[in-house]
Structure 1
């Protein structure tokens, strides 16, 4: 029915223009790009998705779009690094921004030459991390618009990273971790986006190239809304001086990101939730990229369990004492030096049967929308954050790297819809935070604020709302290029 409605909308509004989109080949980047593609398709544009031969989206899930594959140009060793868990992502982005240039140029030439007079190519929309695409687009006189898949507040922090490096804030030093960053209140030094890489200069070059290519682009699209980041959107417009469009949350326009999942989703997540009490379940998932250590897995496992034979092995404190049911996603290869959860004590699954459910991957949108879900322990990636906000689900924040650190601080201290673990993956601290969120008065107040924010975000998507209006402004802008 959804595809039928999209087709009917497209036929009514058809603009006679085609938009080319080029996502970065990671789950957190593919999802919002395809969501944006659905939004533009519903507004009357024809859609072509250019993608790499690594982590390719399933084109059969999008019969209304045209897909064009290019070779990413990586060695077998580099391709293996791109698989979970991801290694030096900065080195990989540095490499692929070079190796993709020639095949991408060839793809654009082909697609432009094959376009018809009745449906010419209007513009190119690429992920901000594909900074090389600005030069390619310029060489073909094709307007390029940028999609940034983080929120505004976290991205603005990247621009002065070299300055923060000089001040000793980046990479983070324990002695400076609690120092406040006066340029970005309420951030502390430990909240700055940390990205592990063997060559710090590669990171600075990547950031500088991204910033320069955005300033040279024809526009910037954000998966956020003015109700969340009004002041930061003003700063973005002043920094980049190109039209900014905040259409988010994308997935609420057409909630269908599960179709673009790179991992098989376990349907038992929903059937298990169906048997739980309303707002009782703590949902735990750290996203498609983040990893944890074996020691951290055991700390979490302790919190998940209450039976004596197992708690003798991994400790007696934790969620066991608050007796919260849980749905726990442990992605394959997300635990360092383990394929899955084989390091858990013998009998753990039997011990938690009935109280908890562990899966390799879950249909997250459905989980967060389920009436039994009462809280979300998250890595604070933007997609997960927006999905939780949109359902009014309050959060426990356990960021791993990059923009997640900034998001976590905003969730806890600015939007005040979650509690920050403050990087203390220790069973006693976890128990305290889980109880506060799920059963105590503090959690009730946080849940109320999350519910109020959900209502604001719903309004922004309706006619007259900021995201709805920015969507129309984006359509007009593309047609004017």
Structure 2
């Protein structure tokens, strides 16, 4: 256990059960453990992590009283119930370990969706930090919505959706999180996720050079340290944190494909689509005549177990050029030389994994920070193509990335970003320095 001036540091990391949040929390925990800190993962019973993958950590389940289909009631009701139900159990646990281990100083690091942990830390007089697993751009974009609403600029008229938000250049009104939701629901959500008490510091799974201006803006606003420590998945290799079993046979299939010829399609671990959208995706893939790996999670197409909604003749034709799998080892696929493009929902983890391997993206965002990330990819970094979900548009977008000269140009820009990522995590790079600063900050609290 790390010590400084005779004080021992015990870190309690409060993890969200969502895949895109649990993964970076466990990656951060692995890094901090390598620096000598004692690690406890406090987690809900819903979608609990596997302690066998992390034998050096203490895992403490927080009873949440949630059904196995807890998300079916809606995301925010689920998060509110999760936070309300876990809170008393975290208080009880922290009081217990503080009494049993008086030689140690306890510090909390909590996922931004487990917002109750900040109030618990304040009640118990503990220092706490917040890990944010979205792009940094999400924070000011979300926080400006109440101001826009007060000024009568949100909800936004359809004719203005393509316009730049003056306070958020280069983001458009259509890129704002929650843009498709009722305003009352949006404002309620923002109240829930906005920190009531600023943490001692923010930890962001991003890279300084990718979002420097936004990070500067947040630092100026909150006046607390912000540690940009991404991409966490490249810092220390960790055991799989996936809640789904990956089909690794696709790697041997990739070995037989031409360099940069394959489009990898995965819309993440949470998103569900309807039959019409998924059918257009299938026809776009088929008509492009390019090899592909398409991840379709069982049950992710509403009303169907897997892909039985597709005509048998279409499936037969598609299987001549590609694979349809239930889940895939994404990081290994993106690092493979045969992969030339990634068709994604543009979640932040997927975005970081793709840019870290120099892979251009086809962007099909749905909500929250995905819209902002797609704008980064297509307009700022110019390594992505925004997709209209219509078979001819999809066919054209795939060919632009894999076949046309435009794809080669995007790939060259993506490779330059990949090289900068390598520099960031190397000795003396911005991420490497930020991680060192984070360790020093924890020791100083």
TM range, normalised to the smaller chain?
A: over 0.9
Deviation at residue 270 of structure 1 after TM alignment:
1.0
- Indicate conservation of the 8 Å contact 2:285/2:394, yes or no: no
- CA distance in 1 between partners of 2:105 and 2:243 (Å): 29
> SS state of the match for residue 11, structure 2?
strand
Deviation at residue 212 of structure 1 after TM alignment:
3.3
The answer to whether residue 98 in structure 2 is matched with residue 112 in structure 1 is yes
- Identify the match of residue 145 of structure 2 among 158, 161, 165: 161
Other-structure match for 1:248: 230
Other-structure match for 2:352: 386
- CA distance in 2 between partners of 1:369 and 1:90 (Å): 35
Other-structure match for 2:245: 264
Other-structure match for 2:204: 222
> SS state of the match for residue 152, structure 1?
coil
Other-structure match for 1:235: 217
Other-structure match for 2:190: 207
Change (3 A) 1:332 1:165: farther
TM-score normalised to the size of structure 1? 0.87
Other-structure match for 1:4: none
The answer to whether residue 176 in structure 2 is matched with residue 192 in structure 1 is yes
The answer to whether residue 62 in structure 2 is matched with residue 70 in structure 1 is yes
- Indicate conservation of the 8 Å contact 1:408/1:420, yes or no: yes
- Indicate conservation of the 8 Å contact 2:284/2:390, yes or no: no
Deviation at residue 186 of structure 1 after TM alignment:
1.8
1:18-417 matches, cutoff 5 A: 18-74=10-66, 76=67, 79-82=68-71, 88-115=74-101, 117=103, 120-166=104-150, 170-171=154-155, 173-194=157-178, 200-201=183-184, 203-213=186-196, 215-256=197-238, 259-305=240-286, 318-319=287-288, 323-417=289-383
- Indicate conservation of the 8 Å contact 2:207/2:431, yes or no: yes
Deviation at residue 401 of structure 1 after TM alignment:
1.0
Deviation at residue 238 of structure 1 after TM alignment:
1.2
Change (3 A) 1:101 1:186: same
- CA distance in 1 between partners of 2:213 and 2:383 (Å): 19
Deviation at residue 172 of structure 1 after TM alignment:
5.5
Deviation at residue 363 of structure 1 after TM alignment:
0.6
- CA distance in 1 between partners of 2:98 and 2:251 (Å): 44
TM-score normalised to the size of structure 2? 0.94
The one-character-per-residue Cα deviations of 1:338-378 (angstroms, maximum 9, x if unpaired) are 22111000233322223110001001000101111111001
1:427-438 matches, cutoff 5 A: 427-438=391-402
Deviation at residue 96 of structure 1 after TM alignment:
2.3
Change (3 A) 1:138 1:263: same
- CA distance in 2 between partners of 1:71 and 1:339 (Å): 30
Q: Compute the RMSD of aligned alpha carbons.
A: 2.1
> SS state of the match for residue 17, structure 1?
strand
- CA distance in 2 between partners of 1:97 and 1:474 (Å): 27
Deviation at residue 168 of structure 1 after TM alignment:
6.2
- CA distance in 2 between partners of 1:47 and 1:462 (Å): 25
Deviation at residue 49 of structure 1 after TM alignment:
0.3
- CA distance in 1 between partners of 2:112 and 2:346 (Å): 20
Deviates more, 1:173-182 or 1:286-295: 173-182
Deviation at residue 324 of structure 1 after TM alignment:
0.9
> SS state of the match for residue 69, structure 1?
strand
Change (3 A) 1:458 1:87: farther
The answer to whether residue 416 in structure 2 is matched with residue 452 in structure 1 is yes
| Corresponding pairs, count | 443
Change (3 A) 1:373 1:420: same
- CA distance in 2 between partners of 1:167 and 1:418 (Å): 33
- CA distance in 1 between partners of 2:26 and 2:120 (Å): 22
Deviation at residue 469 of structure 1 after TM alignment:
0.7
